[in-house]
Structure 1
Amino acid sequence: MNQIQSNEDGAAPRRRSPLKWAIGAVLLIGVAAVLYVIAQASFKPAGVADLKEFKKASLEKLDVPAQPRGQPATVFTDGAGKSLTLADFKGQVVVMNLWATWCAPCKKEMPTLAKLQARYATQPLKVLPISVDRDDDLNLVQAEMAANPPLQVYRDPGYKLSFELDPRAAGYPTTVIYDRQGRERARLAGDADWSSPEAHALVEALLAEH
């Protein structure tokens, strides 16, 4: 007598092949991946570029927040002593660089910031090298800017911007990049080559946003 139990039609139960199980699992994973991408995109503001793709080469240390951050309302001054805030530059892509004349990495990267400003001189891009040097060293700040045209003198000798950033600046140099809406979109602690292709691509991605 046959020992294999039959189903209602009298046929032996079919076993699903391992290959079919594998194909089914792959399809399920694929569907889940597509749904995840769609969900992630739905939380991303329209027209906002993903700057993580520029986190490479000279910008390897670039920090791109999951969501754009606000900017501090901290007052700093220009070379003539006029009070300014970051809001005064709304409508432009702002590359704010906190630096000091006693900081060797700061001085190393300064020429590349000058090249960045010069390259986009006719576009809404503003490089803001804000010195934290004390008043007694103003002549040194002026000399550094004179050596790196078209950069201009900006000052925050009380370190207010450094502490009122969220999170606060980790050291010098610290470069914070704001979009034309005044939102922090990326940050880099330490020196970088701001005249590099990846730096140009990052700036151009922000300039292309509306």
Structure 2
Amino acid sequence: MDRLLRYAIPTMVVGLLLGLLYVVFSGSQEGGNRDPIAKFAKGTLVKLDTSERGDLAPDAPFTDVNGETVTLQDFEGQVILVNFWATWCGPCEREMPSLAALQTARGSDRFKVVAISVDSQEDRDYAIRRLAELGGEGVLDFYHAPPEAWDVVYDSGARRGFPTTVIYDASGTKLALLAGEADWASYEAIGLIDAILGMQP
């Protein structure tokens, strides 16, 4: 019995210490390597994709509400959340009020929601009215990329239908993409934008 205790107790102590070291080391590794953006891929943002992180914002043209040509590179200096939407897309319309709420909550000279309608040229005026009706009036600026100007859509990586949302940092570098509908006024979304703003120089 004495011999058993003499060998068993040290073995148990060593085992416990090794287990403790493993837990501490694993936790520090996970914390150290955890992507500060990818960790928000949960809840309504579960489809958040950071696999194309690092791509630069395209210089493909689209137009503003006055018909003036702009590109995503014109927003350099601001974090931008680019949302490609259409009036014929039910999920696009459902999420638009939350995009307006996000712009209201966090919109500034450091952050902007850029809602780009992909409706046809013939439906442009209707899309302007619809954006206002969905909560964007006085909150979201209207931008337009009809099918013949979809280079900005494809070059942004939006190849899986609408809505698609792409986030770029203040230097015009892609951070994340989300294909599909989301609640952009949710706790996760607000936290994501705050985290990104905190990462900017």
Which residue in 2 is equivalent to 1:4?
none
Trace 1:91-102 onto structure 2 (pairs within 5 A). Answer: 91-102=77-88
Query: How far apart in 1 are the matches of 2:186 and 2:28?
Result: 36
Change (3 A) 1:35 1:109: closer
One of 141, 166, 187 as aligned partner of 1:197: 187
Unaligned runs of 5+ in 1: 1-14, 42-48
Change (3 A) 1:135 1:55: same
Query: AA paired with 1:119?
Result: A
One of 88, 93, 102 as aligned partner of 1:107: 93
SS of alignment partner, residue 68 of structure 1: coil
Change (3 A) 1:153 1:31: closer
Which residue in 2 is equivalent to 1:126?
112
Which residue in 2 is equivalent to 1:153?
142
Query: AA paired with 1:200?
Result: I
Aligned length: 189
Quick check: 1:184 aligned with 2:169? no
Cα deviation 1:83-123 (Å, max 9, x = unaligned)? 11111101111010011110000001011111111112335
Query: How far apart in 1 are the matches of 2:19 and 2:132?
Result: 62
Trace 1:16-27 onto structure 2 (pairs within 5 A). Answer: 19=12, 22=15, 26=19
Mark the structure with the bigger radius of gyration: 1
- Report if aligned partners of 2:80, 2:113 keep a CA contact under 8 Å in 1: yes
- Report if aligned partners of 2:53, 2:173 keep a CA contact under 8 Å in 1: no
SS of alignment partner, residue 141 of structure 1: helix
Q: Percent identity?
A: 37
One of 125, 130, 136 as aligned partner of 1:139: 125
Which residue in 2 is equivalent to 1:169?
159
Query: AA paired with 1:63?
Result: D
One of 32, 37, 60 as aligned partner of 1:51: 37
Structure 1 segments of 4 or more deviating over 3 A? 15-41
Question: What TM-score comes out, normalization by structure 2 length?
Answer: 0.80
Question: What TM-score comes out, normalization by structure 1 length?
Answer: 0.77
Change (3 A) 1:114 1:35: closer
SS of alignment partner, residue 96 of structure 2: helix
Higher helix share: 2
Trace 1:9-20 onto structure 2 (pairs within 5 A). Answer: 19=12
Change (3 A) 1:36 1:85: same
Quick check: 1:63 aligned with 2:53? no
Query: How far apart in 1 are the matches of 2:120 and 2:178?
Result: 24
